[in-house]
Amino acid sequence: MNQPAALDFIHCFVPGHSKRTLLLLHGTGGDESNLVSLGRTLDAEASLLSPRGKVLENGMPRFFRRLAEGVFDEEDLIHRTHELADFVQEAAAHYHFDPKNVIAVGYSNGANIAGGILLLRPDVLCGAALLRPMVPLIPKALADLRNTPVLVCSGNQDPIVSSENADELVALLRRAGANVTVSLENAGHALTDATVETTLRWLLEEGK
Ligand code: MLT
C-alpha cells in the first residue's frame, strides 16, 4: 500500500489491544527502536508509535535543529512540530488507531518536541509524559490544555536542563490549564528506574 506523504517518517508501529496509543519520542542520537521496549513496559496493552527524528546532528537523529545545547532553532522547531503532528494524525488513519487517545512519552529532545506539540498542536495529544524536558518555545498564544494530564520528570542534577528551566516549563503548561504532575528525582539527565516507575504509575492513574 502506498504511504501518504506525511507518513514519510521512518517509524515503528506495534499494534496493541487497548484504545490507547503511546507516541514514543527518542532523545538525541536515538532512533525508532530505542523506546519500544520501554513503551511496552509502561503499558502492556497500548499500541506503540515510534518515529525517528528527521534532523541529523553529526549523524545523530533529533526531532529539530538546535544552534547549541539548549538553544533551539525556533523556526525549525515549529516546522518540525507541525510535521510530526501531521504524521501522528496520518498514522492514526493509516493504522486505524484512535487519534483522540494518543499519549506522548518523550525523553530529552523527544520530550521537547512533545512539549512543542502540546503548545502548538494541543489536539493531537490527550496527555504527555515529558522525561527530562525543557521549555521548547514560548508560544505567541497559549494553547488550551485544560483536562490534559502532563507528567514532568526532572533530575535535580541534570547538567543539560536547569531546575529554573524545568520550573518554567511547568508554569507555562499550568498557565495553559494542563493538569501537571511534577516528579523531581535525585538524578541527572539519564532515565532511571525511578523515572520508569513514576511514568508507569502516572499512566495508570492519570493518563487514562
Ligand atoms: C535538546 O536539544 O532538545 C535538549 O538539549 C536535550 C538534548 O537533546 O540533549
Q: What per-residue confidence (pLDDT) applies to 7?
A: 86
Q: What per-residue confidence (pLDDT) applies to 6?
A: 63
The radius of gyration of the chain's CA atoms, rounded to the nearest angstrom, is 15
**pLDDT reading at 2 higher than 90:** no
| Percent of the chain whose predicted confidence (pLDDT) is above 70 | 96
**Residue 119 · residue 139 · CB < 8 Å:** yes
Note if 144 is an active site residue. Answer: no
pLDDT tens track for 126-177:
999 999 999 999 999 999 999 899 999 999 999 999 999 999 999 999 999 9
Note if 11 is an active site residue. Answer: no
Check if 112 has its Cβ closer than 6 Å to any atom of ligand 1: yes
Neighbours of 6 (CB within 10 A): 17
Check if 30 has its Cβ closer than 6 Å to any atom of ligand 1: no
Residue 37 CA to ligand 1 center (angstroms) comes to: 22
Q: What per-residue confidence (pLDDT) applies to 137?
A: 97
Note if 79 is an active site residue. Answer: no
Which of 60, 65, 77, 109 for a ligand 1 pocket mutation test, highest count of atoms within 8 Å of Cβ? 109
**pLDDT reading at 207 higher than 70:** no
Exactly one of 50, 108, 154, 183 is catalytic; name it.
Answer: 108
CA-nearest of 155, 157, 156, 148 to 129 is 148
**pLDDT reading at 194 higher than 60:** yes
Which of 66, 107, 169 for a ligand 1 pocket mutation test, highest count of atoms within 8 Å of Cβ? 66
pLDDT tens track for 27-85:
999 999 999 999 999 999 999 999 999 999 999 999 999 999 999 999 999 999 999 99
Q: What per-residue confidence (pLDDT) applies to 206?
A: 77
Which of 160, 161, 162, 165 for a ligand 1 pocket mutation test, highest count of atoms within 8 Å of Cβ? 160
**Residue 31 · residue 54 · CB < 8 Å:** no
Q: What per-residue confidence (pLDDT) applies to 190?
A: 98
Q: What's the mean pLDDT in 78-96?
A: 98
Round to whole Å and give the CA distance between 132 and 50. Answer: 18
Q: What per-residue confidence (pLDDT) applies to 162?
A: 97
Q: 4 pLDDT band (50/70/90 cuts)? A: low
Residue 70 CA to ligand 1 center (angstroms) comes to: 6
**pLDDT reading at 1 higher than 90:** no
